[in-house]
Amino acid sequence: MAGATAKLNSYRTGPDERGHFGSFGGRFVAETLMPLILELEAAYTEAKADPAFHAELADLHTHYVGRPSPMYYAERLTEHLREKAGGKGGAKIYFKRDELNHTGSHKINNCLGQILLAKRMGKTRIIAETGAGQHGVASATVCARFGFPCEVYMGATDVERQAPNVFRMKLLGAEVHPVTAGHGTLKDAMNEALRDWVTNVESTYYLIGTAAGPHPYPAMVRDFQSIIGTEARAQILEMEGRLPDAIVACVGGGSNAIGLFHPFLDDETVAIYGVEAGGHGLDVYNGHAASLTGGRPGVLHGNRTYLLQDADGQILEGHSISAGLDYPGIGPEHSWLKDSGRVTYVPATDREALEAFQLLTRTEGIIPALEPAHALAHVARLAPTMDRDQIIVMNLCGRGDKDVFTVGKLLGFDL
Amino acid sequence: MTPSTSRDPHPAARPATRIDVRLAAVAAEGRPALVTFITAGDPDYDTSLAILNGLPAAGADVIELGMPFSDPMAEGPPIQASTLRALNAGQTMLRTLDMVRAFRAHDAATPIVLMGYYNPIYIYGVDRFLADAKAAGVDGLIVVDLPPEEDEELCIPALAAGVNFIRLATPTTDDKRLPAVLANTSGFVYYVSILGITGTASADASRVGDAVARIKRHTDLPVMVGFGVKTREHARSMGAEADGVVVGSALVNAVRDSLDAEGRATAATVGAVTALVADLAVGVREAHVAA
């Protein structure tokens, strides 16, 4: 039950057969889509039980994506934060390096799983929505690899601020549809993708990029992303001989975060932090994208979850420096993990993320995407409050190549 | 309590609603019904109320009143634009219910069905919404993103409150699924005649006839056909295949076309909509119900 304070035997059993995580999740879709959602659920259940499906996915992970992604001890960053703490505290910081995946982010993990499913279901056309373009690029990539036509819906505002990714998608053979409805960001792209799907249900597979939407998407995307946490758990046990004291990930829709968190949910000693886009600050109306810490439950895009909305139930656009976090909702499992108290969600502002972006670049020679820069901003706050022998694992879920123009502009460079 | 079903074994136990009474009367005339959709508050509250008030005399048998929502996922460009006009003019759920109350003050017979998406109702509060809607004179609800799988949310409470819950059936709703879709449906069944969003393609009337016949094998409820009904000719040809037709995008486009350069209502706005409704009303009267 959402909001229950009693401790559960396991946090890893959801959702129920109707797609509910406590009171969150569900299947709030138009009737036209409902039979398709049920068909997808049946196909996924069947695939999950098929060793051949897992074997094909594992082979692609190894030879196409480059998994397992490394676990990296960020020694210079750790030392830098220890100095800031006055030499007293300062946890050891590790990065799960999913930014080294083929296509530059964790998004490929999910896209490979879903494209194999689309193939099994006999679908002939793939559609996807994208915000920062990372999921669009990953979708276009797997479509090229498996020979599917691919159409990507992307908000017109995002098309402009993520031009390098738009070009990548086009190179990969995808058709990119700029969406001008609303404010032209991720939520509007998702509306438009749903409209396409309603119109082309029979031929089309909708490759949702985050752990949100109607059941079974939140559970399915989580399952495909859980390889992050499964690997991370084994790697840190191997390297340190014990579990971490804290794990940290950024949350927009929440797919990289649920992928890291899920395998650790029943490890009681591991503190878990999800970092939301605080934008200009939570006190600025419609100036952030922190659905959990600055929104309230509602129903959008097929699920009940925390949403940014006004008093009349109209959805707000939100704001973040990062196109990938600029979404007014959040995966329903995160809503449940918040209310159950298992995961702590905190915001990081645009400014904090930008500082963290530069910090990592200079101390470790790694240019992160603006999305995990939010997670890093919280790591920079958290590490100095912890002991030197404690361990933090953060998911570095994307690389920053796509963001250098945005950051350059903000820092006053003429590119 | 068992909710009322489409094959209610004791119909006398369930009081007839305004929708039941009106559709029975239309059927007795031997013609299909004309169901008209407008968005509440489009292009502004006063003009929208004037349009609403003018619909029955123009020939509307049942009125669907859209509750604006920022993210209308099943709507095409006409209703998306109409929704935006209403929201920009300050329409809220309270004002939509005010509009129904104002209409009811002088029209006790024309059924009003509120149509929209779940979130604004959820945020208003389901119990409070049903009480206020019933008190304002609302007869039925169509909520696009509440399939039968989510019936406990609003459908069951609405039936208990005496408000009809009207469901959409689509070309993807096969014979296996139809009974589940129809189980808690009351008032009428809204057949979405195309795969797609509102205001785009029009279905071919003969295929619609087959689909309506298929639905009627599972229910005694009247079946209304919508999506792509734009003209008097559509109203006549589609109407001949069903118990009624639903027209929406064409009416909100009539609103749009009547606006001035700044998007404000003009002296022509109300008349543009009622004239189109009157024309469509001729269409349904020309359709002789086959049988």
Residue pLDDT, tens place only, A234-266: 999 999 999 999 999 999 999 999 999 999 999
Task: Find the closest chain A residue to B93 by CA distance.
Answer: A312
- Segment A377-397, tens digit of pLDDT: 999 999 999 999 999 999 999
Mutation for A interface: B149, B153, B184, most A CBs within 10 A:
B149
State whether A202 and B145 contact (CB < 8 Å).
no
- The Cα–Cα gap between A204 and A16 comes to 27
Q: Do B172 and A36 touch (CB under 8 A)?
A: yes
Catalytic pick among B29, B64, B149, B153 = B64
Choose, out of B39, B67, B69, B73, the residue to mutate when testing the contact with A (most A CBs < 10 Å).
Answer: B73
Search chain A and give the residue with CA nearest B74: A195
Burial degree of A18 (CB within 10 A; 0-12, 13-18, 19+): exposed
Q: Do B123 and A309 touch (CB under 8 A)?
A: yes
For residues B22 and B89, what is the distance between their CA atoms, to the nearest angstrom?
32
CB atoms under 10 Å from CB of A153, counted, come to 24
What does the pLDDT look like over A48-63, one tens digit per residue? 999 999 999 999 999 9
Tokens of residue B283, six digits: 């269409």
User: Is B75 designated active site?
Assistant: yes
What was the pLDDT predicted at A414? 77
Q: How confident is the model at residue B236 (pLDDT cuts 50, 70, 90)?
A: very high
Answer whether B173 sits within 8 Å of A302, measured CB to CB: no
Q: How far apart are CA B137 and CA A372, in angstroms?
A: 52
Which residues of B are less than 8 Å from A200 in CB distance? 195
pLDDT digits (tens, 9 = 90+) for B62-79: 999 999 999 999 999 999
For residue B53, count CB atoms less than 10 angstroms from its CB and return exposed for 0-12, middle for 13-18, buried for 19 or more. middle
Band of residue A2 on the pLDDT scale cut at 50, 70, 90 = very low
- Does the N-terminal peptide bond of residue A51 adopt cis geometry, omega within 30 degrees of 0? no
From B105's Cα to the closest Cα of chain A, the distance in A is 25
Taking a C-beta distance cutoff of 8 angstroms, is the pair A225, A256 a contact?
Answer: yes
Query: Does position B5 have pLDDT exceeding 60, yes or no?
Result: no
| pLDDT, mean of residues B212-232 | 95
A128 forms beta bridges with A152
Closest by CA to A392, choosing from A72, A93, A166, A134, is A93
SS3 A409: helix
Q: What is the DSSP letter of A365?
A: S
A27 sits in which H/E element: strand A24-28
Residue A316: closest C-alpha in chain B: B70
**More confidently predicted of A243 and A402:** A243
What's the confidence (pLDDT) of residue A374?
Answer: 98
B92, B145, B196: residue with CB nearest A299: B145
The average confidence (pLDDT) of chain A is: 95
Q: Is the pLDDT of residue B289 over 90?
A: no
Tell me the chain B residues in contact with residue A33 when contact means C-beta distances shorter than 8 Å.
172
- pLDDT of residue B252 exceeding 50: yes
Phi–psi pair at A250, nearest 5 degrees = -80, 150
The secondary structure element, H or E, covering residue A192 is helix A186-199
Q: Which tens digits make up the pLDDT trace of B137-190? A: 999 999 999 999 999 999 999 999 999 999 999 999 999 999 999 999 999 999
Q: What is the mean pLDDT of chain B?
A: 93
Collapse the DSSP code of A52 into the 3-class scheme (helix H, G, I; strand E, B; otherwise coil) and give the result: helix
Distances (CA, A) of B11 to A60, A193, A351, B5, B201: 60, 43, 65, 9, 38
Mean pLDDT, rounded, for A305-328: 94
**What is the least distance, in Å, from the CA of B166 to any CA of chain A?**
12
Tokens of B182: 């129809």
Q: Do B149 and A31 touch (CB under 8 A)?
A: no
**Least CB-CB distance to B144: which of A30, A195, A307?**
A30
Residue B262 CB partners (closer than 8 Å, separation 6+): none
pLDDT at position B200 is: 83
Give the per-residue SS3 of chain B: CCCCCCCCCCHHHCCCCHHHHHHHHHHHCCCCEEEEEEECCCCCHHHHHHHHHHHHHHCCCEEEEECCCCCCCCCCHHHHHHHHHHHHCCCCHHHHHHHHHHHHCCCCCCCEEEEECHHHHHHHCHHHHHHHHHHHCCCEEEECCCCHHHCCCCHHHHHHCCCEECEEECCCCCCCCHHHHHCCCCCCEEEECCCCCCCCCCCCHHHHHHHHHHHHCCCCCCEEEECCCCCHHHHHHHHCCCCEEEECHHHHHHHHHHCCCCCCCCCCHHHHHHHHHHHHHHHHHHCCCCC
Cα–Cα dist A126/A142, whole Å: 10
Q: How far apart are CA A45 and CA A235, in angstroms?
A: 29
Residue in chain B lying closest to A31 (CA): B147
Query: For residue B194, what pLDDT band results from cuts at 50, 70 and 90?
Result: confident
- Residues A306-331 have a mean pLDDT of 94
Instruction: List C-alpha distances in Å: A365 to A18, A223, A411.
Output: 46, 31, 18
The two beta strands, B189-192 and A344-349, are unpaired
Using the beta-carbon criterion (under 8 Å), do A199 and B124 form an inter-chain contact?
no
Q: Which residues of A touch B (CB under 8 A)?
A: 18, 26-36, 181-182, 187, 191, 194-195, 198-202, 298-302, 304, 307, 309, 311-315
Contacts of A187 in chain B (CB under 8 A): 71
Backbone angles phi, psi at B62, to 5 degrees: -135, 145
Q: What pLDDT is attached to residue A6?
A: 61
Residue A42: its pLDDT value, please?
A: 97
Determine whether the interchain pair B122/A28 forms a contact, defined as Cβ–Cβ distance below 8 Å: no
| Model confidence at B4: pLDDT above 50 | no
| Nearest CB to B124; choose among A26, A304, A313 | A313
Instruction: Report the C-alpha gap between A151 and A169 in whole angstroms.
Output: 10
Buried b (16+ CB within 10 A) or exposed e, B31-45: bbbbbbbbbbbbbbb
On chain A, the residues whose CB falls within 8 A of the CB of B200 are 199
- Determine which one of B29, B75, B152, B262 is catalytic: B75
pLDDT at B14: 65
Burial of B267 (0-12, 13-18, 19+ CB in 10 A): exposed
B112 CB contacts (<8 Å, ≥6 apart)? B62, B63, B64, B65, B100, B103, B104, B137, B138, B139, B140
Q: Please, are residues B219 and B182 in contact by the beta-carbon 8 Å criterion?
A: yes
Q: Is residue A5 scored above 60 in pLDDT?
A: no
Least CB–CB distance from B123: residue in A28, A198, A298:
A298
> Hey, how many other C-beta atoms are within 10 angstroms of the C-beta on B139?
25
HSE-up of residue B203 (Cα within 13 Å, Cβ side):
29
Chain centre to alpha carbon of residue A232? 16
DSSP string, A235-246: HHHHHHSS--SE
Q: What is the ipTM of this complex?
A: 0.94
Tens-place pLDDT, residues B13-56: 567 899 999 999 999 999 999 999 999 999 999 999 999 999 99
Q: Are B71 and A181 in contact (CB under 8 A)?
A: no
The residue type at B229: V
Phi, psi angles (nearest 5°) of residue A82: -65, -40
B233 in catalytic set:
no
Q: Taking CB atoms and an 8 Å limit, are A18 and B149 in contact across chains?
A: yes
Task: Look at residue A105 and give its three-state secondary structure.
Answer: strand
Asked if the Cβ–Cβ distance from A30 to B73 is below 8 Å, we say yes
Q: What pTM does this model have?
A: 0.95
Question: Which pLDDT band holds residue A324 (cuts at 50, 70, 90)?
Answer: confident
Classify strands B33-39 and A271-279 as parallel, antiparallel or unpaired. Answer: unpaired
Number of A–B residue contacts, CB under 8 Å: 113
| Nearest residue on chain B to A188, alpha-carbon basis | B71
In this predicted structure, the answer to whether residue B8 has a pLDDT above a threshold of 70 is no
Report helix, strand or coil for A315: strand
Cβ-Cβ contacts under 8 Å, A194 against chain B? 73-74
**Location of structure tokens 């659920």:** A41
Tell me the residues of B at the A interface, defined by beta carbons under 8 Å apart.
68-74, 76, 80, 87, 92-93, 117-124, 144-147, 149-150, 167-174, 177, 181, 192, 195-197, 200
Question: Binning pLDDT at 50, 70 and 90, where does residue A47 land?
Answer: very high
pLDDT tier, A124 (very low <50, low <70, confident <90, very high otherwise): very high
Q: Where would I find the H helices in A241-385?
A: 255-261, 291-294, 332-340, 350-364, 370-382
Residue B250 · residue B227 · CB < 8 Å:
no
Distance from CA of A109 to the nearest CA of B (A): 28
All residues of chain A having their beta carbon less than 8 Å from the beta carbon of residue B195 are 32, 198-202
Give the Å distances, CA to CA, from A273 to A257, A341, A373, A375.
Answer: 9, 11, 14, 9
Give the gap in angstroms from C-alpha A262 to the nearest C-alpha of chain B: 27
- Measure CB to CB from residue A315 to each of B70, B118, B124 and give the nearest one: B70
Mutate to test the interface with A, among B114, B119, B154 (most CBs of A within 10 A): B119
Separation in Å, CA of B75 to nearest CA in chain A: 8
